[in-house]
């Protein structure tokens, strides 16, 4: 299986950013462990703080990969463009969030991605990504 994790804005700061919400581990460290845990899965990784770059990446991988694990971060709640890209591509997208967005501010309860996602996993910290990889096996 060939999967890609796509992370949106500010997730490059994981480990440093609001650790009480997002934890103390950097995504790079976590990704190394993930690759050890899933030796049979090819896990690519892409992060961008730029909305259009996330759309370009979804289009680039969205007709050839087996699965996309997408944490669009704040764009989840604002981006019709990313929602449309998820709808336009063929590869199934699992929407992931580290925090339980429903226990947070009301503006985080809306997602432009969920209606076109294969599934949504949220609230389990970085383990949300583990669970998303499991969902493709």
Interface with ligand DQA (CB under 6 A): 10, 71, 73-74, 76, 97-99, 101, 108
CB 71 to ligand DQA: min, Å: 5
User: Is 98 assigned a ligand-binding role in the annotation?
Assistant: yes
Identity of the residue, 23 or 92, whose beta carbon is nearer to ligand DQA in the bound complex: 23
137 annotated binding-site participant: no
Does 100 belong to an annotated binding site?
no
Q: Which is nearer to ligand DQA, 41 or 73 (CB)?
A: 73
Distance CA 96, CA 106 (A): 18
List the end-to-end C-alpha distance of the chain, in Å, as a whole number. Answer: 8
**Residue number with CB closer to ligand DQA (73 or 118):** 73
- 26's tokens: 């950097």
Catalytic residue IDs: 22, 97
Closest approach of ligand DQA to the CB of residue 10, in Å:
5
Residue ranges in 19-62 assigned as alpha helix (H):
19-22, 27-37, 51-61
Among residues 89, 96, 95, 31, the alpha carbon closest in space to that of 61 is found at 89
Neighbours of 17 (CB within 10 A): 12
CB 79 within 8 A of CB 9: no
Per the annotation, where are the binding residues? 71, 77, 84, 98-99, 108
Show binding-site residues for substrate.
71, 77, 84, 98-99, 108
């Amino acid at each position: 299986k060939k999967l890609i994790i796509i992370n949106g804005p500010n997730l490059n700061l994981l480990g440093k950013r609001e650790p009480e919400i997002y934890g103390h581990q950097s995504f790079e460290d976590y990704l190394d462990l993930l690759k050890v845990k899933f030796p049979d899965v090819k896990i690519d990784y892409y992060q961008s703080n730029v909305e259009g770059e996330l759309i370009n990446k979804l289009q680039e991988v969205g007709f050839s990969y087996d699965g996309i694990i997408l944490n669009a971060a704040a764009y989840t709640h604002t981006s019709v463009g990313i929602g449309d890209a998820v709808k336009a591509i063929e590869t199934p997208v699992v929407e992931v969030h580290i925090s339980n967005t429903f226990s947070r501010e009301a503006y985080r309860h809306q997602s432009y991605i969920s209606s076109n996602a294969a599934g949504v996993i949220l609230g389990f910290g970085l383990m949300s990504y583990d669970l998303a990889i499991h969902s493709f096996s």
